[in-house]
Amino acid sequence: MTFLDAQAPIRRVWPAIIAGIALFLAGAVSIVGVTVFGFRAGFEFFPLLVLAIWPRDANRMVSLLLVFLGGIFTDWATGGIVGQWALVYTVIWGVLRPELRSAPYAFISLFLCWFATCGLAIILIGVSGWFVFSALPDFTSFGRQIIAATVALPIVLVLRGLLAKRFSDGEEWDS
């Protein structure tokens, strides 16, 4: 069993800062898109990958601040509705509550968590976009973005595992 205060407070700040930097980098990647065979595949769902694998021993307040600021950065960088991605990231982080996980993710439970994250993001973006634009979002675009991010999920998991072992936190993602 993991106790929240079993580690020194500074030890719990570093995982939050590293995950926050990864969230900002994923937010920067979400600006670009690729056009393949006439279909544009955006990367707007890539920051959600970082939220799905957020370290469970990260400081809660620092994590919440970085998640909110990462959403504001993504809103600003993509030219979207200011506060929309901040709302999505904050609600998803609050629903996932990584610090309350008692055990590391198994591979299948991570995919279930990932698809729940995508579903919640689509609902939040759809509802907030409806209130602003009075129009339904392009669900086919969401589908392409989810497929692109799902294909990248194993790569992100491998990178996360390598970074975790590099920073002596390998127990988090061994199983």
Other Cβ atoms closer than 10 A to 148: 18
The per-residue b/e assignment along 99-137, b for 16 or more CB within 10 angstroms, e otherwise, is bebeeebeeeebeebbeebbebbbebbeebbeeeeeeee
> Does the structural domain 9-173 have CATH classification 1.10.1760.20?
yes
pLDDT in tens, 88-143: 999 999 888 876 766 666 777 788 888 889 999 999 999 998 888 888 888 888 88
Instruction: Name 1's Cβ contacts closer than 8 Å, sequence gap at least 6.
Output: 102
pLDDT at 1 over 80: no
Predicted TM-score (pTM) of the model is: 0.82
Greater confidence, 15 or 39? Answer: 15
Q: What is the pLDDT of residues 16-70, one digit of tens each?
A: 898 899 999 999 988 887 777 777 777 888 999 999 888 877 888 999 999 999 9
